[in-house]
Amino acid sequence: MKIAVNTRLLLRGKLDGIGWFTHEILSRIVRDHPEHEFHFLFDRPYDASFLFAPNVHAHVVSPQARHPLLFRIWYNWMIPRKLKQLGADIFVSPDMIVSLRAKCKQIVVLHDLNFEHYPQDLPAHIARYLSSQTPLFAQKADSIITVSQFSKSDIVKQYGVQPSKIHVVYNAAQPSYRVLSEEERKEVRDEWTQGVPYFIFISSIHPRKNLQRLLLAYDQFRRESGQEVKLLAVGRRFWKNEILDSTLRQMKFADDVIFTGHLEQAALCRVLGGALSLVYVSYFEGFGVPIVEAFQSGVPVITSNVTSMPEVADDAALLVNPLNVNEIAQAMLNIFQDPELRAGLIEKGLSRATQFSWEQSAKDFWNVIEHTTKA
């Protein structure tokens, strides 16, 4: 079987949530199925490290697709031409978009529909494109994969897709996330916070990640606890600086918020493993990978009681209303003041983390490919 895959988001040193999902799933599928031929379709020169096995063949298809107009050209004109040339049996697209003109069978991964609920959080031209085109992608695709039961229900509700067409394949944490020794935790604190404990936020700094309210909750926590505890914010900025700067100007303890920027995987695993708690209070997620990464690292989690996050966390985290600064601050206070609560959450989190595995997710993904090609 010839399986063509959209791999335009496999970018060395720039893997985001969708990029990591693509990387972890594909690296396992091509390894486990050497009897099949995989054709990876990039939109720019690629890094050879992404050609995971001898049965992978790489192709660069121009133009580089980084804008709605170029999306239309790449997916609807250049990709069908390449699929026909390859004689592909199926086209798999992990990044939310399929070809509306391709003749072969297609699988699309719709990670979430945040743009339907919060279009104001995206550049207007991107929000318009996704809102107008994603219903067409959902209808065109022979199968849809999504990353939570919440997202499956949302797709059914928004687009009227039959539930049987949608398959859930969970995200997971990479093996490099692990419980640090006390000595390692101390080394990390010494490196980042002059030895004091810290809460951690991990995500791209984007409006729906709700960093503004977390900053206000952290300031409230500091006033009420009277203790020196810092906040590390890890991730690239995708939020207008004036909004972030305005919030920081309101804070008494703004100087104790440390923005690390993007961290490579090894550093990220260490800085998460050394944290007092992850505070992940986004107001919309299709999954919420940092929750599982923290569980696997033996770090307590505070997360939101909306969208997919209760599904991922189950009973292993403190759930809060992400729009309520007081609730977030109180959860931080509870984590800081109650060692028994921390220990209980760590134990539950480590158990919960075992329910998510890239090996199982790759098998589930492959089952969808087989099901779709045979249908």
> Residue 229: pLDDT above 80?
yes
**3-state helix, strand and coil shares in percent for the chain, rounded to the nearest 5:** 50, 15, 35
How is the chain split into domains, by residue range? 2-171+357-374, 182-353
> Residue 206: pLDDT above 90?
no
SS3 302: strand
Report how far residue 300's alpha carbon sits from residue 305's, in angstroms, rounded to the nearest whole number.
16
Q: Is domain 2-171+357-374 given the CATH code 3.40.50.2000 in the classification?
A: yes
pLDDT digits (tens, 9 = 90+) for 87-118: 999 999 999 999 999 999 999 999 999 999 99
CA trace torsion 299, 234, 232, 254 (10° rounding): -150
Tokens of 138: 């959902």
- The pLDDT score that the predictor gives to residue 243 is 76
H helical segments located in the chain: 17-32, 68-73, 79-86, 114-117, 124-140, 149-159, 182-193, 211-225, 241-250, 265-273, 289-296, 309-313, 325-337, 339-353, 358-374
Query: Which residues share a beta bridge with 318?
Result: 302
**CATH topology classification for 182-353:** Rossmann fold (3.40.50)
- The pLDDT score that the predictor gives to residue 314 is 97
- The pLDDT score that the predictor gives to residue 241 is 63
User: 40: part of which helix (H) or strand (E)?
Assistant: strand 37-42
Under 8 Å CB-to-CB from 272, ≥6 apart: which residues? 177, 200, 202, 234, 278, 290, 293, 294, 297, 299
- The pLDDT score that the predictor gives to residue 316 is 98
Tokens of 59: 């192709």
- The pLDDT score that the predictor gives to residue 122 is 87
Closest by CA to 114, choosing from 288, 280, 320, 283, is: 283
Q: How confident is the model over 322-348, as a mean pLDDT? A: 98
**In the predicted model, what is the mean pLDDT of the chain?**
96
pLDDT digits (tens, 9 = 90+) for 269-316: 999 999 999 999 999 999 999 999 999 999 999 999 999 999 999 999
Q: How confident is the model over 160-174, as a mean pLDDT? A: 97
pTM, entire model: 0.95
- With 0-12 / 13-18 / 19 or more C-beta atoms within 10 angstroms meaning exposed / middle / buried, residue 140 is middle
Q: CB–CB of 4/83 below 8 Å? A: yes
> Residue 242: pLDDT above 80?
no
- The pLDDT score that the predictor gives to residue 240 is 58
- The pLDDT score that the predictor gives to residue 52 is 98
Q: Among residues of the chain, what percentage have pLDDT more than 70? A: 99
Establish whether domains 2-171+357-374 and 182-353 are of one fold: yes
- The pLDDT score that the predictor gives to residue 205 is 84
> Residue 140: pLDDT above 90?
yes
Report how far residue 375's alpha carbon sits from residue 103's, in angstroms, rounded to the nearest whole number.
15
